[in-house]
Amino acid sequence: VTGTWMGSTTVPCTYVPSEGFTQQTLSWSLERDSSTSTIFRRDDSGDHILLSKFRGRVSVRKHSPGEASLLIQDLEMPDSGRYTCKVIWRSTDNSLITREVTTTVKVVKEVNPPCSSWELPSSLHQ
């Protein structure tokens, strides 16, 4: 996923809700420079943003089963990294099931397209 600096991007994470499974926790973590930190966690007590630099900038849609994508706003260059979405369900027999998916996010500064007036039209290339 590529996001533009100061813009917003959605890091995808979707699953098919299954009968008899209840979502226990949903967490998003960011791996950068070989260290991993949890950004966001949703559990019975609500939504928690655990990294202060992401407060007010990240959110996960509520009340949409199967949709756990992370929306990041006001992207900053250090937001680049590997984001892991981890969902834990509890099944009817109380066993826990964990699924995770990792997406690499690259934040880029939008550059104006280079001036190409000096290039020959493609019809002239021999």
Q: Please report the pLDDT score of residue 125 as a whole number.
A: 47
For 62-100, the pLDDT digits (tens) are 988 889 999 999 999 999 999 999 999 999 899 999 999
Whole-number percent of the chain with pLDDT over 70? 87
10 Å CB burial of residue 11 (0-12, 13-18, 19+) is buried
Q: Please report the pLDDT score of residue 23 as a whole number.
A: 86
Q: What's the mean pLDDT in 92-114?
A: 88
**Beta-bridge mates of residue 96:** 90
| Confidence category of residue 112, pLDDT binned at 50, 70, 90 | low
* pTM score of the predicted model: 0.83
For 26-63, the pLDDT digits (tens) are 999 999 988 999 999 999 999 999 999 999 999 999 98
How many other C-beta atoms are found inside a 10 Å radius of the C-beta of residue 117? 5
The span from the CA of 55 to the CA of 67, in Å, is: 21
Q: Which domains does the chain have, with CATH numbers?
A: 2-105 (2.60.40.10)
10 Å CB burial of residue 49 (0-12, 13-18, 19+) is middle
